[in-house]
A and B are shown apart, each in its own frame.
Chain A
Amino acid sequence: MSPPAAGIARTLQFGESMFPVGGFAFSGGLESAIQKGVVVDRDTLAAYVRTALEQAAQGDGIAVIHAHRAATAGDLDTLGAIDARVFARKLSGEARTMTTRMGKKFAEMSADIVGTAPVIAWRERIAAGATPGCYPVSLAVNFAAQGLAAHDAFVVHQFGVASTILSASLRLMKVSHVDTQRMLFALLANVDADHARAATARLDDMAGFAPMAEILAAVHVKAHVRLFMN
């Protein structure tokens, strides 16, 4: 259990976009969206990030909360079942690469830094190939191990979804740091309502609807020139 001030510091540490789990290599599909004229300006960028946040709140965010409960109870088998469900919902190879690379790296870093038994057990499960190690689950394991709330893990997850795409946008299109920070500020205003909905949802309720984002993932796989891994 982290003391309150240390808890805030650690939420920031593990939640910030520069935490070295390789998030910088992914654009959340933005690279294709720009190449194909789906995202063309600040308004369409903000709408694209909003879609990604809505999908995460109804999908992976529910997994974060369920995984946090299972990790708090020390139930590794339930964590494995949640992990398999998150993985089975990733319908594109790039989405699976992103979640398992970041999830594995996050589990390794957590084991090295936090170093308590549950985070080490989770890293070993992933290393043994017994579970895919998706990012939302690894994040929840870390937060539960430190006594940080599921609510905070959910917020950090939503923040990561938005900041990954927005930081990629700085390298892909004409947009300023002030623009992206303004968007981040506005787009995360709904995070409490999103959390309230996700906190009462069943794991079976994980859902979404973003066909264009999925088509853009398919386009990206076939693209010749790529800066990002998705």
Chain B
Amino acid sequence: MPDAGRALPPAPPTVAQPSPLAAAEALGAAPELAAFQDEPPQMASGMPGKTGWLKLDFERRGERTILADLAVRAPYMAQRVLYPEPQVPDLAWLFIITTSGCVLQGDRMALDVTAGPGARAHVTTQAATKLHGMDANYATQTQTLTAAAGAYVEYLPEPLIPHRGARLVSDTRLTVAADATLLYGEILQPGRKHHRPDDVFGATLLSLAVTAQRPDGRLLFHEKLVIEPQRRPMRQTGVMDGFDVFGNVVLLTPPAAAEQVLARLDADVDHAAGIAHGACRLPNDAGLVYKVLGRETADVRARVREFWAITREVLTGEPLSPPFFWR
């Protein structure tokens, strides 16, 4: 019900929030959330323990990229930085953990990743992000990722699994210098596919926005996906067709590198193999967007990994390491 008669949310609890969390709270004003402004009977929205904040600042120091600054607030946690790839010994890996194990109604999460000039980092999550079922309120997350001059950043979290009735509004801002590279990829599962039949596309609302800009604020591209499976059939022709899992990868990189990556990719819709994928050039010479649809998560992951491996080779001149045996 847009605007007319919208119930005002109850006064938020008076807890001092760092400014990124104020942005996460402000996402609640999105019109797609108008019907979900009630407070959870459990812990109220935005309370300590429900306001995750993680700030990761990577900087180049001599031969390595180090984590120069870290700010963390539960349920976010960060593991120590690792350097697992000998062919790119300076490239820092960091695994994000969420101690609550899932995203709950009333959660407000803010992630802020910055790579300084020449820094190289890979950020990922330890496990899939489970969005629990919701019967009151909603969850929001803001993500800001910044790559300064000459920086190389990969943010490839494990898949998002929205449970039945989940509501999430996510706003991602990517800021990238003209000679920097930022690889951002999400995989969205339809739900707990083999749990119950109505878990497939059982989420109530997923609103996923990505905006990319230059450091001077010049807009590169904007995408806002509003997914409401109860209102619009997901298997409709042109939407998901017969597929269940969606991969969305953005590569912000200078045009010459983007062309090299694009030349090595094919694009196809293969109903028999259960996979469809293809890359397009983003507007304003921003780079590429790569979309994948699959029936199973593993097939989509394989395609995203292929895109990642090509990107790695083109941008660093080194091959991507084989997958960890435990992932």
Contact = CB atoms under 8 A, between A and B. Distances in A.
A115 to B, nearest CB: 32
A216 to B, nearest CB: 7
Contacts of B271: 37
A173 B255 CA distance: 37
Interface string B293-305: 1000000000000
Given A50-B236, A84-B219, A88-B219, A209 B226 contact: yes
A47 B266 contact: no
Contacts of A88: 219-222, 283-284
Nearest to B229: A209
Contacts of B3: 200
Contact of B280 (A32, A33, A92, A202): A92
A10 interface: no
A44 B280 CA distance: 24
Contacts of A216: 238, 269, 278
A58 B293 CA distance: 22
Nearest to B211: A88
A171 interface: no
Size bracket of the B interface: 35 or more
Contact of A91 (B240, B277, B280): B280
B237 interface: yes
B63 interface: no
A123 to B, nearest CB: 22
A217 B238 contact: no
Contact of B239 (A51, A58, A202, A221): A51
B108 interface: no
B145 interface: no
Interface in A91-136: 91-93, 96
A47 B237 contact: yes
B293 A44 contact: no
Contacts, number: 130
Contacts of B281: 92-93
Contact of B237 (A32, A92, A212): A212
B221 A213 contact: no
A38 B282 contact: no
Nearest to A58: B226
B238 A210 contact: yes
Contact of B283 (A37, A96, A204): A96
A33 B276 CA distance: 12
Contact of B240 (A48, A52, A87, A211): A211
A182 interface: no
A44 B237 contact: yes
Contacts of A36: 268-269, 276
B31 A215 contact: no
B278 A91 contact: no
B279 interface: yes
5 contacts: A51-B237, A89-B221, A93-B281, A207-B209, A221-B267
Given A37-B269, A47-B236, A51-B236, 8 more contacts: A29-B238, A33-B237, A36-B276, A38-B238, A39-B237, A91-B280, A93-B280, A201-B31
In the A-B complex, the 4 residue pairs with the smallest Cβ-Cβ separation, listed nearest first, are A218-B278, A51-B238, A47-B237, A36-B269
